[in-house]
């Protein structure tokens, strides 16, 4: 229902004169005859009826009084409705706000839960990765232990120089490698190095040495010199044998003589060589004599070959070496008599030595003049495989291969 005061555009307290004046103005403005188009005329008629009806009620004091009462009640009712509606709206707003807060709290809780799940999943993944890494490390460690445990360290030792120790070591290691075994040969005779010459190693052009490793300047992998490219039938050793030479430079020999050998690092290097190259045998050309460095090298071996000449003095020295090796509890010890004169009976020499030493003689190797010339520059047993010395050496190699 339209508010009659609003229809006429006057205040509720307007006097009759103001009412009449306003009515006349609006009646003229909205008279239907003033509009030409049917549509406009129809709208004007509707508005004119509202204006006329409002004037009829408000110009009559009795009707106006009744209308004012009715209007006041309607306004109060409307205000109450608006108040109730406002309260309801405010309550609804509060409800929506609470629901929004609850929704956000639940979403935040879900987000935290997702993040916690993600964190736990990542932590579990890291844990699995660490366990897997540890498992691989343990497996690698076990493999290294197995690799070291199945490998044999063979030390070739003599009490003094001149016995043919390095010559024998080079040829013996090569003969074992020729059977298909993976072999490394290390020169730790730092005061009198010479093993490299039998394998064509040239320190000036070929690279680093064990001296560099001991000084922390190289790894064992950088030192390794592959054997098999120096002729004399050694091609068959390619991929099966590696040389780890000592430096023959005077300054390095002097340094090692004065400072000695860091045996802990040397021993670690020997173990790393076995592991990295998956060796079956590691031959060590030791330093002559019974000094601390020599005995420590002997003590690390699984198999020890004591090489000596068949003269009385060298025999006595060999016996002293044997006694110390037995005290060090080297698992397998063999004697090799080298440079036996052609006139001597090898079998008798073997019999006498074994009786005197109570130890096994792996071989009695003869001395021939044709071996003396330039045999330091190649592997004699490969260049002359049918030579009596080469045959005797192969017998020693077979004993080494079958030693427990």
Q: What is the arithmetic mean of pLDDT over 249-278? A: 88
Q: Over 80: is that where the pLDDT of 16 sits?
A: yes
- Nearby residues of 289 by Cβ (< 8 Å), 6 or more positions away: 159, 160
All domains in the chain, ordered by first residue: 4-59 (1.10.287.110), 151-402 (3.40.50.300)
Q: Quick: pLDDT tens for 162-200.
A: 888 999 999 999 999 999 999 999 999 988 888 888 888
For 153-167, the DSSP string reads EEEEE-SSTTS-HHH
Q: Quick: pLDDT tens for 284-315.
A: 999 998 888 788 888 889 999 999 999 889 99
For position 376, what pLDDT does the model report? Answer: 65
- Nearby residues of 400 by Cβ (< 8 Å), 6 or more positions away: 154, 172, 176, 281, 303, 305, 334, 362
For position 143, what pLDDT does the model report? Answer: 47
**Tokens coding 178:** 């020729």
At 146, the pLDDT band (50, 70, 90 cuts) reads: very low
Give the separation between CA 169 and CA 185, rounded to whole angstroms.
8
For position 44, what pLDDT does the model report? Answer: 85
Q: Over 60: is that where the pLDDT of 269 sits?
A: yes
At 400, the pLDDT band (50, 70, 90 cuts) reads: very high
191, burial (CB in 10 Å: exposed 0-12, middle 13-18, buried 19+): middle
> Could you tell me which residue, 90 or 110, shows the higher pLDDT?
110
Q: What is the arithmetic mean of pLDDT over 326-337? A: 93
SS3 state at 304: strand
Question: Is the pTM higher than 0.85?
Answer: no
Q: What is the arithmetic mean of pLDDT over 146-173? A: 85
């Amino acid at each position: 229902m339209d508010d009659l005061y609003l229809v006429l555009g006057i205040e509720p307290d307007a006097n009759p004169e103001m009412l009449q004046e306003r009515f006349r103005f609006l009646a003229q403005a909205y008279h239907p005859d003033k509009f030409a188009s049917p549509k406009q005329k129809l709208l004007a008629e509707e508005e004119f009826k509202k204006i006329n009806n409002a004037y009829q009620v408000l110009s009559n004091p009795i009707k106006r009084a009744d209308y004012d009462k009715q209007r006041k009640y309607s306004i109060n009712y409307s205000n109450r409705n608006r108040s109730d509606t406002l309260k309801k709206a405010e309550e609804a707003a509060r409800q929506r706000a609470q629901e929004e807060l609850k929704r956000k709290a639940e979403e935040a809780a879900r987000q935290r839960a997702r993040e916690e799940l993600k964190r736990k999943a990542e932590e579990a993944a890291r844990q699995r990765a660490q366990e897997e890494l540890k498992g691989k490390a343990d497996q690698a460690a076990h493999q290294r232990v197995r690799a070291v445990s199945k490998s044999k360290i063979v030390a070739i030792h003599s009490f003094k120089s001149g016995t043919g120790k390095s010559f024998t070591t080079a040829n013996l290691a090569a003969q074992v490698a020729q059977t298909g075994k993976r072999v490394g040969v290390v020169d730790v005779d730092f005061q009198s190095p010479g093993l490299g010459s039998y394998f064509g190693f040239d320190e000036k052009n070929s690279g680093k040495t064990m001296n560099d490793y001991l000084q922390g300047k190289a790894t064992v992998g950088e030192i390794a010199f592959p054997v098999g490219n120096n002729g004399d039938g050694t091609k068959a050793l390619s991929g099966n044998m590696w040389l780890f030479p000592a430096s023959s430079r005077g300054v390095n020999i002097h340094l090692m003589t004065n400072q000695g050998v860091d045996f802990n690092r040397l021993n670690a290097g020997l173990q790393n060589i076995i592991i990295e190259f998956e060796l079956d045998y590691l031959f060590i050309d030791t330093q002559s004599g019974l000094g601390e460095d020599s005995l420590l090298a002997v003590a690390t071996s699984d198999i020890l070959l004591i090489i000596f000449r068949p003269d009385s003095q060298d025999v006595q020295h060999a016996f002293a070496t044997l006694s110390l090796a037995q005290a060090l509890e080297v698992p397998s010890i063999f004697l090799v008599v080298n440079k036996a004169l052609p006139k001597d009976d090898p079998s008798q020499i073997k019999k006498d030595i074994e009786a005197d030493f109570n130890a096994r003689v792996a071989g009695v190797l003869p001395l021939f003049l044709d071996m003396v010339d330039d045999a330091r520059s190649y592997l004699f047993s490969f260049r002359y495989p049918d030579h009596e010395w080469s045959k005797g050496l192969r017998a020693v190699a077979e004993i080494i291969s079958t030693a427990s």
